Amino acid sequence: MLSRVISGDGPRSPVLTAALLLILVVLAFAPFLFSGAQPLNVAAKICVFILLVASYDLLLGYTGIVSFAHTMFFGIGGYGAAIALSRLGPSWSALALGIVVAIVVAGLLALVIGLFSLRVRAIFFAMITLAVATAFLVLASQLSGFTGGEDGLNYSVPESLRPSFRLLEQPVFGTVVNGRIVTYYILFFVVLAGFLLLLRIVNSPFGSVLQAIRENEFRAEALGYPVVIYRSIASVVSAVIAAVAGVLLALWLRYTGPDTTLSFAIMIDVLLMVVIGGMGTLYGAVIGSVLMIIAENYLPAVFGKLGAAAAGIPFAPLILSADRWLLWLGILFVLSVYFFPTGIVGKLRALWQNRKGGAPQTRSARAEHEKE
Amino acid sequence: MSEPLLTLEGVHTHIGRYHILQGVDFAVPRGSFTVLLGRNGAGKTTTLRTIMGLWKASRGSIRFAGQDLAARPTPEIAASGIAYVPENMSVFSGLTVRENLILAARSGKIDDTRLEWIFSLFPAMQRFFGLAAGTLSGGQKQMLAISRALIEPRDLILIDEPTKGLAPAIVANMIKAFREVKNAGTTVLLVEQNFMAAKMLGDSVAVMDDGRVVHRGAMAELAADHALQHRLLGLHMEVHQ
d(CA A252, CA A255): 8
pLDDT at B240: 45
Query: Does the beta-carbon distance from B94 to A226 stay under 8 Å?
Result: no
Chain B contact present for A360, CB below 8 A: no
Residues 273-292 of A with CB under 8 A from B: 280
| Predicted confidence band of residue A263 (pLDDT cuts 50, 70, 90) | very high
Residue type, A367: A
Q: Work out the average pLDDT over B218-222.
A: 94
Verify whether the Cβ–Cβ distance A372 to B90 is below 8 Å: no
Q: Considering only CB atoms, which chain B residues are within 8 Å of A63? A: none
pLDDT, mean over chain B: 91
Strand order in the sheet with B82-85: B82-85, B156-160, B187-191, B33-38, B204-209, B212-218
Report yes or no: A345 and A17 within 8 Å, Cβ to Cβ.
Answer: no
Q: What is the ipTM of this complex?
A: 0.87
Q: Is residue B134 part of a domain?
A: no
Separation of alpha carbons B202 and B179, rounded Å: 10
Q: Which of B216, B220, B228, B184 is nearest to B203 (CA)?
A: B220
SS3 B9: strand
Q: How far is B217 from chain A (nearest CA, A)?
A: 29
How sure is the predictor about A370, in pLDDT bands with cuts at 50, 70 and 90?
very low
- When pLDDT is averaged across residues B5-33 and rounded to a whole number, the result is 95
Q: What is the band of B237 on the pLDDT scale with cuts at 50, 70, 90?
A: very low
Q: What average pLDDT does this structure show over B65-91?
A: 91
CB contact under 8 A, B78 and A219: no
Q: Sorting pLDDT into bands at 50, 70 and 90, what band is A368? A: low
Q: How many residues does chain B have?
A: 241
A362 and chain B in contact, CB less than 8 A: yes
User: How many domains are there within chain B?
Assistant: 1
Outline where chain A has alpha helix (H).
2-5, 14-33, 37-57, 63, 70-88, 92-117, 122-142, 144-147, 179-202, 205-215, 217-222, 227-253, 264-277, 283-309, 316-320, 325-339, 343-355, 360-369
Q: Using the beta-carbon criterion (under 8 Å), do B92 and A215 form an inter-chain contact?
A: yes
Residues A85 and A264: beta-carbon distance below 8 Å: no
Q: Over range A38-67, report the average pLDDT.
A: 97
| Domain encompassing residue B232 | 1-81+157-165+188-241
Show residues of chain A in contact with B106, CB under 8 Å: 224
Q: Which of B75, B92, B99 is closest, CB to CB, to A224?
A: B75
Nearest partner of A225 among A205, A251, A250, judged by Cα: A205
Question: How confident is the model over A299-304, as a mean pLDDT?
Answer: 87
pLDDT in tens, A186-220: 999 999 999 999 999 999 999 999 999 999 999 99
Residues A149, A133: Cα–Cα separation, whole Å: 16
Distance, CA of B50 to CA of B218 (rounded, Å):
24
pTM for the structure as a whole: 0.90
Q: What percent of chain A has pLDDT over 70?
A: 96
B108 pLDDT band, cuts 50/70/90, is: confident
Percent over 90 (pLDDT), chain A: 76
Of B74, B94, B148, the CB nearest to A211: B94
The rounded mean pLDDT for chain A is 92
Backbone angles phi, psi at B15, to 5 degrees: -115, 110
pLDDT for the residue B235: 62
**pLDDT top residue among A284 and A332:** A284
Chain B closest-CA separation from residue A342 CA (Å) = 13
Predicted local confidence at residue A359, as pLDDT: 52
Distance (Å) from the alpha carbon of A210 to chain B's nearest alpha carbon: 11
| Residue at B18 is within a domain | yes
Contact between A372 and B169 using a beta-carbon 8 Å cutoff = yes
- Comparing A18-32, A346-360, B190-204, the range with the smallest average pLDDT is A346-360
Given this model, what pLDDT does residue B90 score?
Answer: 84
- What pLDDT, on the 0 to 100 scale, is given for residue A317? 76
Q: What is the pLDDT, as a whole number, of residue A363?
A: 46
Return the beta strands (E) in B82-155 as ranges.
82-85
Q: What is the mean pLDDT of residues B166-193?
A: 90
Rg of chain B over Cα atoms, rounded to whole angstroms, equals: 17
Q: Scanning every residue of chain A, which has its alpha carbon at the shortest distance from the alpha carbon of B80?
A: A224
> Nearest residue on chain A to B149, judged by CA atoms?
A223
With beta carbons under 8 A apart, name residues in chain A contacting B137: 365, 368-369, 372
> For residues B180 and B54, what is the distance between their CA atoms, to the nearest angstrom?
29
Instruction: Tell me which chain A residues have a C-beta less than 8 angstroms from the C-beta of B108.
Output: 205
- pLDDT on residue A357: 67
Q: What is the mean pLDDT of residues B217-226?
A: 93
Reported as type and span, the H/E element at residue B216 is strand B212-218
Nearest by CB to residue A208, choosing from B52, B95, B170, is B95
Residue A47 and residue A58: Cα distance in Å, rounded? 17
Q: What is the pLDDT of residue A174?
A: 87
Q: Residue A314 has what pLDDT?
A: 81
Would you call A224 and B79 a contact, using CB atoms and an 8 Å cutoff?
Answer: yes
Report whether A83 contacts A315 (CB < 8 A): no
Identify whether the C-beta of residue A159 lies closer than 8 Å to the C-beta of residue A180: no
At residue A372, does pLDDT exceed 60?
A: no
What CA–CA distance (Å, rounded) separates B187 from B185? 6
Q: What is the spatial distance between Cα B216 and Cα B190, in angstroms, rounded to a whole number?
A: 14
Q: What is the CATH number of the domain that holds B3?
A: 3.40.50.300
Residues in B whose CB is inside 8 Å of some CB of A read 52, 54, 73-75, 78-79, 84, 86, 90, 92-95, 99, 102-104, 106, 108, 124, 127-128, 130-131, 135-140, 148, 167, 169-170
* Chain B interface test: which of A206, A208, A371 (most B C-beta within 10 Å): A208
Contact list, A226 vs chain B (CB under 8 Å)? 73, 75
Task: Spell out the domain ranges in chain A.
Answer: 36-263
* The pLDDT of residue A360: 45
Cα distances from A86 to residues A79, A148, A249, in angstroms, run 10, 10, 15
B125 in a domain, yes or no?
Answer: no
